[in-house]
C-alpha cells in the first residue's frame, strides 16, 4: 500500500484549484439511470469512489466513459437492478442507485451498507421515503429489496434523530421524479450537493421546486431525458485547504471555492483570527498571528459540516487555549483523535465532544489513516508538526482527494508519496 511522507513546519503559499465535488457527482451519476438517453458530466474529480461508481453503473448495464474529468453515461436499455455487497461495502454511497433503479426498473436490490469507522450507516429514512411513495420493501439476506409497479407521489417528513439525510433526500427526490403526482419532502437536506443533484434532474426534465430549502416539491413526469452538467466545486476539499492555510500561517487562494457553500467554516476561521476574503474566483485565506480557540458543533447544512470536523480538530491543537468540538451527525467520528494524540496533541473524548487543549507543538510520527476525513486531519497535522510524518493506508485519502500531494506541494509543502514496493 502507498504511503505519504510529510516534512513539517511548512508555510503554504500560492494558489490551488478545487476539483469537482465527490459528494455531488456520485448521486448525479446515479440519476443518469433514470433515462436511457446519454448524459455528459463535466468537472468530475478522478477519485477511487468515482471509479467505483463507474464500475457499478457498468455492472448494471450502462455504457460509461471517463476521460479528462468528463463522464459520458449511456444507460440505453440497461437491465440491471442490483447493487451488490461488493460495491456497497467498499462505498456506502452506492446506496444512491436505490431510488433511480426502483423508479426506472420497478425493482431494486441494494445491499445494506452496514456500518463503517465513522459509525452506523442506517437507511431507515430511505426506506421510510420509498414506502411513502408506495414501494414494497423487504430486507432479505443483507439486501434491501424494493418493488413498485408505479410509484405514487406523497407528502413525507424525512428528518431523523440526527436531522436531515443527504442521500435519503437524494434517493427520494430521484424516485419521485417518475412517480405519479406530487411529492413533498419536509426536513429535506439542502446541502449544495443536493441542490446540484436537483439542478441536474431539472435539466433532465424533472419538475422540482424548493431544493435550496428544507422543503422540496417534485411533480412526477412520465420520463426523463439525458443532460449535460458541470458539477460544483468540492467544498470539503476547499475547506480542507482553507484550514491547512490558516493553521500553517499560510497565504493561499483556493480557486473555484464558493463562499456560499462554506459560510460556517469561514465564520469559524475568522473567529480563530484568520483573514478570509472571497470573490467569484475563489477564497483567499491568510493565517492569523496566533490561533484563537473556538468551539464547533457539526450540523446539517448550513451548519458546520461533519466532513470538516476532523480537520478543524487538528487545527485547534495549535490554538491558544481550550476548544470543544462536538459531533452531532456521526457521534463516533473521532478515529483521528488517537493518531493526533500520538503526534503530541492533548485531546480527550467526552461522549460526542472532543476537548482539545491547545498550544501543542505537534511532532511528526508514523500514523495510520482510518477513514477519508480523519486521513486529511493527519495530513494537516503533518504539515505543521516537527519532523517527518509517515501516513499509511492512504487509499482512504484517495477516495476523496484528487492529487492531494501534488496540490499541497505546489503550495510549498514538503510532501511526497512512496508507492508500495
| Minimum distance of ligand EPZ from residue 280's CB (angstroms) | 26
| Minimum distance of ligand EPZ from residue 93's CB (angstroms) | 4
| Minimum distance of ligand EPZ from residue 295's CB (angstroms) | 20
Chain centroid to CA 286: 25
| Minimum distance of ligand EPZ from residue 172's CB (angstroms) | 10
Comparison of 98 and 245: residue with beta carbon closer to ligand EPZ = 98
Give, for 390, the enclosing helix (H) or strand (E).
Answer: strand 388-392
| Minimum distance of ligand EPZ from residue 113's CB (angstroms) | 8
Comparison of 87 and 287: residue with beta carbon closer to ligand EPZ = 87
How many residues does the structure list for the chain?
421
Residues of the shown chain interacting with ligand EPZ in the complex, contacts defined by CB under 6 A: 23, 26, 93, 121-126, 160-162, 165-168, 189, 193, 306-307, 329-330, 372-373, 400
Please state, in angstroms and rounded to a whole number, the distance separating the CA atoms of residues 49 and 371.
13
Question: At 217, is the secondary structure helix, strand, or coil?
Answer: strand
Please state, in angstroms and rounded to a whole number, the distance separating the CA atoms of residues 371 and 369.
6
Comparison of 125 and 318: residue with beta carbon closer to ligand EPZ = 125
* Catalytic hit among 67, 116, 190, 317: 116
Bridge partners (DSSP) of residue 252 are 14, 285
Comparison of 122 and 210: residue with beta carbon closer to ligand EPZ = 122
Q: How far apart are the first and last CA of the chain?
A: 8
| Minimum distance of ligand EPZ from residue 396's CB (angstroms) | 10
Give the chain's radius of gyration (CA, Å): 21
Our answer to whether residue 116 is catalytic in this structure is yes
Angle in degrees, CA 30, 35, 40, rounded to 5 = 65
Please state, in angstroms and rounded to a whole number, the distance separating the CA atoms of residues 150 and 34.
14
| Minimum distance of ligand EPZ from residue 388's CB (angstroms) | 26
Chain centroid to CA 368: 21
Peptide bond into 88 cis (omega under 30): no
Comparison of 93 and 265: residue with beta carbon closer to ligand EPZ = 93
Closest to 69 in 3D by CA, of 36, 47, 49: 47
Comparison of 93 and 101: residue with beta carbon closer to ligand EPZ = 93
Comparison of 56 and 319: residue with beta carbon closer to ligand EPZ = 56
**Residues labelled as active-site residues:** 116
Amino acid at each position: 500500500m502507498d504511503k505519504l511522507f510529510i516534512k513539517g513546519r511548512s508555510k503554504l503559499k500560492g494558489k490551488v484549484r478545487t476539483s469537482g465535488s465527490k459528494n455531488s457527482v456520485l448521486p448525479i451519476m446515479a440519476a443518469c439511470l433514470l433515462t436511457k438517453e446519454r448524459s455528459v458530466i463535466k468537472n468530475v474529480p478522478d477519485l477511487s469512489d468515482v471509479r467505483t461508481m463507474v464500475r457499478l453503473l457498468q455492472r448494471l448495464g450502462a455504457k460509461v466513459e471517463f476521460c479528462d474529468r468528463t463522464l459520458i453515461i449511456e444507460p440505453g436499455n440497461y437491465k440491471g437492478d442490483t447493487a451488490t455487497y461488493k460495491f456497497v461495502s467498499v462505498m456506502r454511497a452506492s446506496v444512491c442507485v436505490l431510488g433511480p433503479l426502483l423508479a426506472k426498473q420497478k425493482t431494486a436490490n441494494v445491499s445494506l451498507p452496514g456500518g463503517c469507522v465513522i459509525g452506523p450507516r442506517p437507511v431507515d429514512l430511505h426506506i421510510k421515503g420509498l414506502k411513502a411513495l408506495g414501494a414494497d420493501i423487504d430486507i432479505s439476506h443483507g439486501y434491501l429489496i424494493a418493488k413498485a409497479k408505479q410509484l405514487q407521489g406523497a407528502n413525507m417528513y424525512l428528518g431523523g434523530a440526527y436531522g436531515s439525510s443527504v442521500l435519503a433526500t437524494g434517493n427520494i427526490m430521484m424516485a419521485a421524479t417518475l412517480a405519479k403526482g406530487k411529492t413533498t419532502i419536509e426536513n429535506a437536506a439542502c446541502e449544495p450537493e443536493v441542490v446540484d443533484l436537483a439542478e441536474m434532474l431539472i435539466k433532465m426534465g424533472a419538475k422540482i421546486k424548493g431544493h435550496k430549502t428544507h422543503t422540496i416539491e417534485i411533480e412526477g413526469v412520465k420520463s426523463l431525458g439525458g443532460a449535460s452538467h458541470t458539477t460544483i466545486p468540492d467544498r470539503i476539499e476547499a475547506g480542507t485547504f482553507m484550514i491547512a492555510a490558516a493553521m500553517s500561517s499560510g497565504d493561499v487562494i483556493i480557486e473555484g471555492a464558493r463562499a456560499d457553500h462554506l459560510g460556517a467554516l469561514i465564520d469559524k476561521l475568522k473567529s480563530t483570527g484568520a483573514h478570509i476574503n472571497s470573490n467569484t474566483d475563489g477564497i483567499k485565506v491568510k493565517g492569523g498571528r496566533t490561533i484563537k480557540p473556538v468551539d464547533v458543533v457539526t450540523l446539517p447544512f448550513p451548519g458546520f459540516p461533519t466532513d470538516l470536523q476532523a480537520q478543524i480538530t487538528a487545527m485547534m491543537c495549535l490554538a491558544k487555549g481550550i476548544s470543544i468540538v462536538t459531533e452531532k451527525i456521526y457521534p463516533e467520528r473521532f478515529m483521528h483523535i488517537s493518531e493526533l494524540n500520538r503526534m503530541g496533541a492533548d485531546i480527550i473524548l467526552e461522549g460526542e465532544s472532543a476537548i482539545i487543549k491547545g498550544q501543542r507543538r505537534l511532532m511528526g510520527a508514523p500514523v495510520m489513516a482510518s477513514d477519508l476525513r480523519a486521513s486529511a486531519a493527519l495530513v494537516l497535522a503533518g504539515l505543521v508538526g516537527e519532523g517527518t510524518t509517515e501516513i499509511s493506508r492512504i487509499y482512504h485519502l484517495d477516495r476523496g482527494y484528487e492529487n492531494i500531494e501534488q496540490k499541497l506541494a505546489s503550495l510549498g509543502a514538503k510532501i511526497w508519496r512512496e508507492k508500495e514496493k
